[in-house]
Each structure stands twice: as C-alpha cells, then as structure tokens.
Amino acid sequence: MENRTHLTRAPTQWQFPRTGLILLSSVALLLVSLLVSLSSGYLNLSLETTALAVWHGLSGHALEGNEAIVWNMRLPRALFGALVGASLAVAGTALQGLFRNPLADPYLTGAASGAALGATLAIFATGGAAGGFAASFFQAGIGSSLIPIFAFVGAVGAVLLTLLFARLSRGGPNSLILAGVVVGSLLGAVTTFVQLHDADRMKAAFSWALGSLSLAGWSELRAVLPFAVLGFAGLLSLARALDALQLGDDTASSLGLKLPRIKLALVGLAALLTASSVSYAGLIGFVGLVAPHLCRLLIGPSHRLLLPMSALGGATLLVLSDWLSKVVTSPQEQPVGLITTLIGAPFFLWLMARGKR
C-alpha cells in the first residue's frame, strides 16, 4: 500500500512545478504582449515610455502628451482585447469539454449570428454611421450606443432559440450542434436580407461584423467586465463536472451529477461570455478554437487548470492579433477579426489533418 501511495503522489510532485512554470510563463507573455501593443500605433513609443505612462497613470499623476495617449486610448483598448480574448477562449474550452469535441467553438450555439442580426437591426433602425471599421459604429451618437445592446439581446435570443430547437428534436448529444447550425444559417439569411435594403448602412454593418477593438475605451471595458467575471467564476465552479463529462454521460451520472442542469449551465455561461464579447467587439473568429486546443496540449485536460490557462492564452492571442492589425499595414489598421482568421484558419486545417492520423 505504501508503495502504491508513493507512486500516485510522485507524478503530482513532479507535475506541480512544471504546471506552475507554464502558468507563470503565460502571465509573463501576456504582460509583454500588452506592453508591446501599448507601444505600437500611429505613433510608436519606446517600451520605457509606455511603461512609465502606465505607472504614472496608476500612481495618479497628471498625464500629458504621449502618456495621456497610452493611458486614455491604448490601455483600455488592450485590456478590453485581453478580456474579450479570454472570454471567447474560456467559452470555447467549456463547449469543447461539454461536447468532447476539440472543434467546438463559442459560436456553436448561434450567438454570433444572433449578435450580427441585432447589430444590423440597430444600425438600420437608428441610422448608424457607415464607413470603414476605423470609423466604428461607436461614433454614431445615441444610435450607436444601442448597437451593443441589440447585439447582446440578439446573441442571447439566438442561444435560447438553439436550446429550444435542440429540446424539441430530442436527439442525441449532437442535437445542440445541429440546432446551432440551423439557427445560425437562418439568422444569417435574415441579416443578409436586411442589409441588402441599404448599401451605405450595409457597409457599417459589415464593418461591425469584421471585428474591431479600435475605439474600445474604459466604458466598454466596464460594460463587459461583470459578464466576464460571472462567466469565468461560473465555469470554474463547474470544472470538476467538465472533467467528469470526459468519461461519458453514463459515468458522469453514476458520480451523482445532474447532467441536464449542468449542461444547461455550461451552455448558458459560455453563451453569456460570447454574447457580451461580440456585442462590443464584433465577430472575432478562431480565438475560442485555437487557444483552448493549444493550452490543452501544454497543460493537460484538467479543467481546473485548463480554464484559467485558456483565459491567459486567449487574452494573449487577441492582444497580439490586435497589435498585428495595427502594424501590418501601418498607419492604416486592419480588422482584428481578419487577423485572427488568417491565424486560425491554417491552425484549423492542421487540427483536422491531425485528427485523421
């Protein structure tokens, strides 16, 4: 017995320093990514100037010139990007665990299509500003403030519709996936139909759909933060349930888990994270697919560690993607959703090829 106990504890003693090192390295990488992103833009600043600007802002000093630009414009944008990236990655991790499918992503439940329809209706109903994504919808006055609200309502409504269809179908575990595809296609068609009625506003709606962090400020960060905290905390409390689900529904049920409630909670919390993110940032693809999978390769399948690791990975991925969107064709910015797609699509193909081996 003593030998067995020693053998079961030895891997834990060996793994803990490695796991802690990976997590600390991930935090350090995120901080470096934030600093690099803060120093880049229309006017490039040194890392020293950027770090001093953040320090002076935290210390309450009066900020002028470049320091004011860093604190008032670049810092909220970078933090907002990190929060959105973390939200999408954590939502993707939860859905991949729920469906035991590494190809599941946060938009599986139709949230993206619902948000796109809601944003389009807000733009068309209130006369949202047209133009490229740099002339973001946030500049459209009172009407533009309704866009994230409409997008959030649309995303939540789409998820509820998906759950309803899945319940009515009474199919197997894939019924929710199929219902999400149907709802997404249906709402996508409605969105296209609405957009075709006004070419100018269609341009604004299309700009929103490309995804952008360009005009995110402290108010957007404060708006998304409560939903992110609630979603993170809720999913982290279900980490053990996610681990049990990897053994199969029958085994999870035999462990005393109430699967219908747990699955509904997982879908609801993932949808909350997704809806709150896309309602302000637009549609940013592949973050919720790439980050969880890479983190799983690094840290293993335990969701108690995988969820926070995915949050760090998703935050870093989107911050770096936003940095690339600013520097690739500087001084003109590119939509961050375009950058994440260029990164994520090849990874998705690699993931599919790897699964066939």
| DSSP character string of 124-163 | HHHTPPPS-TTS-GGGSTHHHHHHHHHHHHHHHHHHHHHH
**Segments of the chain with pLDDT less than 50:** 1-14, 128-143
The pLDDT assigned to 173 comes to: 62
- The CA distance from 314 to 150, in Å, is 25
Count of domains in the chain? 1
- The CA distance from 179 to 162, in Å, is 5
What would the two tokens of residue 48 be? 């020293």
CATH number for the domain harbouring residue 342:
1.10.3470.10
The pLDDT assigned to 311 comes to: 97
In a domain, 7, yes or no: no
Residue 135: which of 223, 71, 44, 201 has the closest Cα?
201
What would the two tokens of residue 170 be? 């009474």
- Measured at the CA of 264, the angle between CA 262 and CA 270, to 5 degrees, comes to 100
> Given 3-state DSSP classes, what are the helix, strand and coil percentages for the chain, each rounded to the nearest 5?
80, 0, 20
- The CA distance from 165 to 179, in Å, is 6
Question: What pLDDT digit, counting tens, does each position of 166-214 carry?
Answer: 888 776 667 888 888 899 999 989 988 888 877 777 777 777 788 889 8
In a domain, 91, yes or no: yes
The pLDDT assigned to 144 comes to: 54
In a domain, 3, yes or no: no
Which burial class, exposed, middle or buried, applies to 265 when counting CB atoms under 10 A from its CB (0-12, 13-18, 19+)? middle
The pLDDT assigned to 233 comes to: 97
The enclosing H or E element of 8 equals helix 2-39
Which burial class, exposed, middle or buried, applies to 14 when counting CB atoms under 10 A from its CB (0-12, 13-18, 19+)? exposed
Domain that holds residue 249: 32-356
Q: How far is CA 278 from CA 106, 168, 211, 284, in A?
A: 10, 28, 8, 7
Q: How far is CA 332 from CA 39, 41, 115, 326, in A?
A: 16, 10, 27, 7
In a domain, 23, yes or no: no
The pLDDT assigned to 133 comes to: 35
- The CA distance from 17 to 128, in Å, is 52
In a domain, 16, yes or no: no
Buried-state track 70-91, b at ≥16 Cβ within 10 A, e below 16 = bbebbbbbbbbbbbbbbbbbbb
- The CA distance from 85 to 290, in Å, is 11
In a domain, 12, yes or no: no
The pLDDT assigned to 265 comes to: 93
Ranges of H-type helices in 61-141: 66-69, 75-99, 111-126
- Measured at the CA of 225, the angle between CA 222 and CA 228, to 5 degrees, comes to 165
Q: How far is CA 18 from CA 13, 14, 15, 58, 300, in A?
A: 10, 7, 5, 33, 11
In a domain, 1, yes or no: no
Rg of the Cα trace of the chain?
21
* Plot region of 127 (φ>0 → left; ψ -120 to 50 → alpha; else → beta): left
Question: What pLDDT digit, counting tens, does each position of 310-334 carry?
Answer: 999 999 999 999 999 999 887 888 8
In a domain, 102, yes or no: yes
